[in-house]
Each structure stands twice: as C-alpha cells, then as structure tokens.
Copies of this chain bind each other. A is one copy, B any other.
Amino acid sequence: MRREAGKVYLIGAGPGDPELVTLKAVRALGHADVVLIDDLVDRAVLVHAPRARVVPVGKRGGCKSTPQRFIEKLIVRLARRGQVVARVKGGDPFVFGRGGEEVLALAAAGIECSVVPGITAGVGVPAAFGIPVTHRDIARGVTFVTAHARDGAGPDWAALARTGTTLVIYMGMQHINAIAAALSAAGLAAMPAAVIERGTTVDERSVVDCVGGIAEAARAAGLGSPALIVIGEVVRMARSSERAQPLRRQA
C-alpha cells in the first residue's frame, strides 16, 4: 500500500501586481507545504504561504529555464509524498500557461488537482492601462494569440485581421517586426497599436503608435520581454482613461 497522495493547486497569480491575486489563491497558498513558483511571479505573493518551502522553477522565453517535463515530474513526486503543492504561474494557468499539460500529467498519475484561475495579462494589463479591449461599437471582441506555436508556424494574421477583434499578442517581442509586417500586409498598417512591458507593475513601460510604426517605436523606447502587444481601435482610448486616473501620476 502506498502512502496517501497529497494535493496540487494550480494557481494563476494574475498579470503582475501582487494585489491582483484572488482570495481563492490566497487560501490555497495558506494550505501549501511547498510552492513551485515561476520566475515572472512577484515574490510578494509568498506572504500568503507562510509555512511553505519555496522552489523557484524559472521559465522565461529564450532564457535558461526549467524544462516542463522536469516540473511535472517534481510536482508528481512531491504530491506522492503527501505534500500539498501550490504551483504558481503568472496570469492564468490555462492561457498560454501550459497548465493543461500539468493537469494531464497529474491526471495520468492519479493525483488530485484543483485549478485556481487568475487574471490573464491580456485582460488585466490593457485594463489597468485604460484600454477596454472589447469596447462597444469599436471592437467585435478580443483575441489572444502567441507569435509562434510549437510547430514554428505563425498564426493566420490575415484571418485574425478580418475578425474585427482587438488582438492581444503574448510573448511577441522577439517577432514584433514580422508581426507588424504581416498585419500591415493584411490592411492594418494604420491601426493603433501599443506595447506594454511589465504591465500593472511599478516597472511598467509602454509606447503607443500604429501597426506600421510600432516595431520601431518599441525599439526606440528600448522595450523588451515580457510585454504584450495590443492592436485595435480601442488603443485610442488609453489616453481618456489615463485622464480619469490622475492618482497614478500624483501618487
């Protein structure tokens, strides 16, 4: 007979600001014996896991990082020892967070897993920046994509342009020239575009331009990863919203 298995919480920590975690995440962290935390998550959230051992499992595009398979094996091993494991990811675990892969690995191992959703960057970052991604009359909806899938191919930018939805591109900075060129070719060269680096954090930096100029504007401003690229008429609204938030500048 094997020992009773532990439990895993797969937790989304939100877009950056540590105050944007949910009460459910706070409760799950309070139960944790061990926290596996991604690089991009603010360590301030660990205040909610006072009795947990902390294991950083760095993952960031292009840099040295912990392989996904290793992380999955580690979670399974810890849970089999009877530990309560909090696996903390930036944003939402299921929006470009590879949470689905971890859920499958846990299911295959017969380990109980609860998913705690978080605010994905594609919603929270534009919102805090004053961009209503689905503003009535000027956006049909919103689409979240990454620049490249595992097969190396990019999305169908022409089809995306035709949807009339606001486009929010995650992990796109390495490919911003190609993205802007493809969307310009699809007729969106004059469409407003924003790059927001480390949105909702104290280190937030950004530029606003049109699709045709956004790559050069981001380069000139020295912006890099992690950042979101937001494309759509709704980007024009950033300023009116900023006017409504004098506190951010006075504070």
Contact = CB atoms under 8 A, between A and B. Distances in A.
Q: How large is the interface on A (under 10, 10 to 19, 20 to 34, 35 or more residues)?
A: 35 or more
A164 interface: yes
A119 interface: yes
A163 interface: yes
B94 A133 contact: yes
A24 B134 CA distance: 22
B95 A134 contact: yes
Among A12, A14, A163, residue most surrounded by chain B Cβ atoms (within 10 Å): A163
* Most interface-central of A117, A137, A165 (chain B CB within 10 A): A117
Most buried by B among A96, A120, A124, A127: A127
A220 interface: no
B113 A244 contact: yes
A192 interface: no
- One complex includes copies of this chain to the number of 2
Describe A's contact surface by its main secondary structure.
mixed
Interface string A2-21: 00000100001011010111
Interface string A117-136: 11110011011101111111
Given A140-B155, A142-B144, A164-B155, A240 B134 contact: no
Contacts of A150: 136-137
Interface string A148-171: 011100011001101111000000
B20 A22 contact: yes
A99 interface: yes
A207 interface: no
A141 B132 contact: no
Nearest to A8: B244
Contacts of A131: 94
